[in-house]
A and B are shown apart, each in its own frame.
Chain A
Amino acid sequence: MILHTADIHLDAPFPSLGEKEGARREDFFKTFDRLLTLAIKNEVHLFVVAGDLFDSPRPTAAAVSRVQAGLKRLADRGIVPVLLPGTHDSVATSDSVYRKSDFPGAILLDAPVVHEPVPLTVAGQPVFLYGFAYRNFLSDEALGSLVRRDGEGIHLGLLHGSRQGSPEWDYRKKDVPFTLPLLKKWGLDYVALGHYHNFELLEDDGRVLASYPGSPEGKRFRESGSRYCALVTLEPGCARVEKVATNTRVLEERTLDLSGCEDQRQAAEAIRAEGAEDLLLRLTLSGIVEAPLDLTALHAWCADEFFHLEFQDQTRLFDSDFARRIETEETVRGLFVRRARTAMEQASPAQRALAEAAFREVLVRFRYFGEEAS
C-alpha cells in the first residue's frame, strides 16, 4: 500500500498574491501535513514522493526542518518515505537540499542511473525500488536503466519525467521524455510518476501501469479544482489506484457575464456572489455592460469575498446603449465616441479588444473626473 504523491513544490514563491503570499505558502505546508495524515490513517507502507518535493534546490531551513519532522513522523510509525529529486529540487547542484540535509528514515534515490534497484522488505514482502535522480540532459540516457531486474517481489519504479502524448506535453517543458510503450517495456509492477501537475491514470489493456498524481495543491491557475494524491494498492503484476483529494484551497478560472449591468454596484454584487473563502479565482468578465467599470474599485469592493481575486476584463462597453447615447452628443464625449466608432469599424478583430479596452479606460475616467448627464 503506497501513498504516491509528487510536485508538492514546498516553499514556492507567489509574488502575484501580494500580502497573501505567506498564507498561500502555509497552505502548501498544510497540504503536506494532510498527505502525511492520510498516509498514517490509511496505514500505508510507503510514502512515495516522485520529485519536486521542494520548489527549488535551496529551500529555506524552516521548510527543510518541517519536512524532516514530517517524514520522521512517518518513519516512527513504520512508514518508509521514498524520495526522488526532481527538476525543481534537482540534486545536480553541490548545495542541493538532498546533499546538504538528511532525511532520517527516508530512502533517497539520488543515483544518476539505476545500477541495482534498492531492496527493502515491506510487510514481509521484498520490494525493489527503481529510480534515478534528474541531472539535466544526462538523464535522457538513464531511462533504460529502469528495466526490471530479477527478483521475487514487487518492483516499484519512480520517475520524474514528461510523457509524450499527455495533455500537458504541449505547454510544459519536456524533461526526461518517455512514452507509454517504453514504460510498459520496463515491466515494472507500477511506476510512480511526477512532473505533470494534473492527475492522469495510465492504463493499458485494463491494467494500471502508472499514474501522475498531479500537484496536491494547485500552484498555478491551470491546476484548477480538486487536487489529488494516489493511494496505490500494489501486488506483483497488479496495481489499484484510488485518488484522494488533498487540497487546502481551490484555484479556478471562471467567466462571468455582466451584460446589462448598469452600474458598478450591480457588477460588484454579481462578482461577490461567486466568492468563497478558500477560492483563488481568475474571473473573466464578459458581456455588454451599460456603465464603464472601474476595475480597481471593483476589485477593492469584491476582493474580501475571496482568498484571491484576479480580473480579466473582456466586457464590452462600446456596443452598449450608454455609448450610443453619448455618441450623438455635440460634445467632446460625443466626438470621442464617434472617433472610437470609426476606429472600431476599421479595426481587425485582434485590435477590437484593444479598442474596447481603450474605450473603457476613457469612459471610466469621464465618470471619475466628471458627472454623467442622465
Chain B
Amino acid sequence: MILRKLELKQFGKFGERTFEFRRGMNLVTGPNEAGKSTLMEAIPAVLFGVRNKARFKPWGRQGECTAALVLEDRNRSVQVERDILTDRVVLIERDDLYHTLYHFEGKAAPQGRSSERAEYLAQLSRLFGVAEDDVFRASLFFGQGSLELSGQGGLGAKLKALLSGFAEVDYDQVLDSLNRDFFAVTRQNPWGKDKTRDRDLEEVRKELAELEKRWFATRDARKELAALHERVGTLQEELEAGRVEYDKGERYLAWVRKQWHLEEKEESLRRHFTRVSRQTEKIDELEKRRQALERQIAGTGLPREIPEGLPLLLADAEKIRKELVALQGEAATLRQQLLEQPATPWWQAGGLTGALLAVGGGVTWWRPQWATVSLLAAALLSAPVWIFFLWRFGIRRAEGSRIKGQGQVLERSREEAQARLSELDERFEKLGMSPSAVEIVRMQKNLETHQQLTAQLLEVESALRVLENAEELGREKEDLTRELAVLGERREREPSPRRKGLLSPEDLPEAEEKLRALGERLKAGEKELLDLTRREAALQGELADSQQIEEEGERLKDREQALVRRRDVLGLAVEWLSGAVDEFRSTYLERFAADVGRNLALVTAGAYGEVRLDDDLTFALRGKGNSWQPLERFSRGTMDAVYFAVRLALTRHLSRGRHLPLFLDDPLVNLDRSRLAEALTVLERLSGEHQVLLFSHNDNLLRRGASARWHVVSLDDVKAEAPAARERSEDVGQLYLL
C-alpha cells in the first residue's frame, strides 16, 4: 500500500497544494521551515485528527482547513478526507475499476467516543492495520529526532498487545467465552478448583441418577410385583384351605358343643324329668296317702271335720258304751255262763247211747254171740252217762236262773244306758250326724286315730300344697317327654361330621383354643392379603410410569451425551487456544526480538544481529565480549539503529503483508557517514517492498536521491499550485536497488 496523493487545503502554511508520491523511495526536501514537518504531520492529522486544532489553522485565514490523502493498493484505493476543524471525515474505498466498495462519512474526533468514530477506526484497522495515533507514531511514522520508542505507559502495553496479536482478535475474550460456555455445561474445572454451582451436565446427571433410581425402583417394583403376585396366589390358596378347615372345625366344634349341649340339656331334662317324676310320684304317693287317709278317716266314721262337741259326745258315748259293753260284757259273761252251761248234751248222751248201741249193734252183728253182752255193756255204759247228764243239767239250771236274774238287772242298766244313748243321739243329730250305734262306737274308737289321721292328713295336705300342682307337673312331664324325644331325634339326625368320635368336654376348650388360633391366623392372613393387594395396585401404578421413565431416560441420556460432547469440544478448544496463546505470549517477544535482530543485522550490516527484549520493552544488545548490555550503554548511532530496526519490525508486524509506507522525518541525523550509507542502503532495499517517504533537508540525501532516481518532492516551490499532474503512471513494482 502506498501513499499516492496528499491534498492540503489551507493546512498550516499550505494553501491549496497537492503532493504526489510514487512507489519506492520518495524524498521530500526543502529548507527548514519549508513545511516538511507540517507535511509529514498532515498524514496522521488526516487519519487521526488533531487535538490542538489551532495548530494547523491557516495563519491569518478563516474558513476551512482540510486535508486528504489517497492510498493505493494492488486492487483498490482509499481516500480519506478530513476537515481538520470539524473532524468530519470522508473515507471512500474504491476498487481498481473505480467502483465504490465502501463509503464512510461522519465525525471522527481524535478523542471522541461516538459509534461513527468507532466505525471509522474499524475501517482504518481493516485497511491499514493501524487505527491509533500513538501506534502509528511508534511504527511507520518515524517522527522527528530520536527513533526511540517510549516503551512506558499505555504505549508499551498497546505495543505489547499489538505484538501479542491481541489487536485483531482479543484472545482473552475468546478464551473467556470458551470458558464461560464450558462452565455453563459443567462445574468440573479440569484446570483448577471446581466451580461451586452445578451446571447443566451435573443437573442432567442428577436427573438421570434420579431416574435410574426410579427405574431400579420400577424394576424392583416389577420383581416385587411378581413375587407379590405369587404370594397373593399362595396366600389366597392358603386362606381358602384355611377357611375350609376353619369351617369344618367350626362346624365340628359347633356340633360337638351342640352335642354336649344337647346332652347336657338332655341330662338336665332328664334330671328335671326325674325330679318331676319323683315329684309326681311323691304327689301320687301323697295323694294316695291322702286318699287312703281320707278313706281311713272316712273309715273312722267320723266326719272329716270333727264338730266341737263330738269328742265329748263320743266320750260320753264311749262311756255309755263302755258301760254298755261292760253290761254287755257282763251280760255276755252271764250269757256265757249261761251258755257255758253246757247244754245238756242231750245229743251227746244220745250220741253216746247211739254210739254205744251202734257199737253194740256192730258187735252184735259181728259177733252175734256177744250180742247180749254188748247190749248190756252198752246199757251199763249209758246209764252213768245219763246220770251224769242229769246232774249236770240240774246245776246248770240253777246257775242259769241266777244268771238270768243278774241278767235282768243288767238289762235294766242297759236300758238306762240306751236311754242315755238316745239322748246322745239327739245330741248327735244336733251336730248333724245320725250315726248308728256302731258308728258311734266306731267313731269313738277312731277318734284318736281320726285325730292322728287328721294330723297326718294335714301333713300330707300341706306337703301336697308345697309340691306343685299335679296337673302342671303332668303337663311338664309331657313336655319334657316330648322334648326328650325330640332331642333324641336330633341327636340321631346329625351324625358326627368327623370320623373321630365326640370330643370330651375337657378337650373342648383346647380344641376351641386351637380353632380360635386358626381363626386369628386366618384374619391376619386376610389382612395381609388386603395389604398385599393394595400394594399390588400401587406397584402397578408405579410400573405404568415405567414407560414414561424410559422415554425420559432416553431423552436425558441423549442430552447428557450432547453435553458431554460439547464439554469435550470446548475443553479441547480451550486447551489448544490457551496453549497457542501461552506459547505465543511467551515467545512473541522473542519472535519480535528475532525480527528486530534480523532488521538490525540488515541495518548495521551484520555488526549487531541479536537483540533481547524485556517485558517492559527495554532492549539489550549483545555487545563486545558476548555479554548482554542494556541498550543505553551503546552509542547513539547504535541505539538509533536498534530503534530503527524495532520500528521496522513493528511496522512489518502491523502491516502483515500490507507493506505500509514508512514515513521518516530526518531520522538519520545521528548516523555517521558509514552508518548513514548503510542505513540508506537498507532503506533502498526496503523500498522494494515498502514505500519510503523521507523528509530531510540534507543535501547529501538530495544528491543521493537524484542519482538513485528517487522521487523527489521539493518544497521550495511551495507556491506552486499546480496539481500533481506529473507522473500518474503506475510505477508498479519499481525497485530502486542500489
Contact = CB atoms under 8 A, between A and B. Distances in A.
Co-assembled chains A and B? yes
Contact of B174 (A90, A331, A366, A371): A366
A88 B168 contact: no
Count chain B CB atoms within 10 A of each CB in A135, A355, A358 and give the residue with the most.
A358
A136 interface: yes
A116 B353 CA distance: 140
Interface of B: 122, 125-126, 164-166, 168-171, 173-174, 177-178, 222, 225-226, 229, 537, 540-541, 543-544, 546-548, 550, 555, 565, 568-573, 576-577, 579-581, 583-584, 591, 656-657
A233 to B, nearest CB: 33
Given A335-B581, A339-B576, A370-B169, 7 more contacts: A333-B580, A339-B579, A340-B576, A361-B569, A366-B174, A369-B169, A373-B657
Interface stretch (A91-99, A282-290, A297-305): A91-99
B540 A371 contact: no
In the A-B complex, the 3 residue pairs with the closest CB atoms: A370-B169, A358-B572, A336-B580
Given A355-B572, A373-B656, A137 B222 contact: yes
A96 B545 CA distance: 11
Contacts of A96: 544
Nearest to B571: A358
25 contacts: A87-B547, A92-B544, A93-B540, A93-B544, A94-B537, A96-B544, A331-B165, A331-B584, A332-B584, A333-B169, A335-B581, A335-B584, A336-B581, A338-B580, A339-B576, A354-B565, A357-B565, A358-B570, A359-B573, A362-B174, A365-B174, A366-B169, A371-B126, A373-B168, A373-B656
Interface in A61-116: 87-88, 90, 92-96
Contacts of A92: 540-541, 543-544
Contacts of B573: 358-359, 361-362
Contacts of B547: 56, 87-88, 90
Given A336-B580, A371-B125, A373-B656, A95 B541 contact: yes
Interface string A337-374: 01110010000000000110111011001101111010
Contacts of B583: 335, 339
B580 A332 contact: yes
A365 B178 contact: yes
A332 B576 contact: no
Contact of A371 (B168, B571, B591): B168
A9 B178 CA distance: 41
Interface string A132-148: 00011110000000000
B170 A370 contact: yes
Nearest to B125: A371
A214 interface: no
Contacts of A331: 165, 584
Contact of B540 (A56, A135, A329, A361): A135
A86 B550 CA distance: 15
A173 B576 CA distance: 43
A349 to B, nearest CB: 15
A16 B177 CA distance: 25
Given A136-B225, A358-B576, A332 B165 contact: yes
Nearest to A342: B576
Nearest to B122: A371
A117 interface: no
B576 A343 contact: yes
Contacts of B178: 361-362, 365
Nearest to A138: B229
A370 B555 CA distance: 37
Contacts of B656: 329, 373
A150 interface: no
A57 B547 CA distance: 10
B554 to A, nearest CB: 9
B174 A369 contact: yes
A170 interface: no
Contacts of B126: 371
Contacts of B577: 336, 362
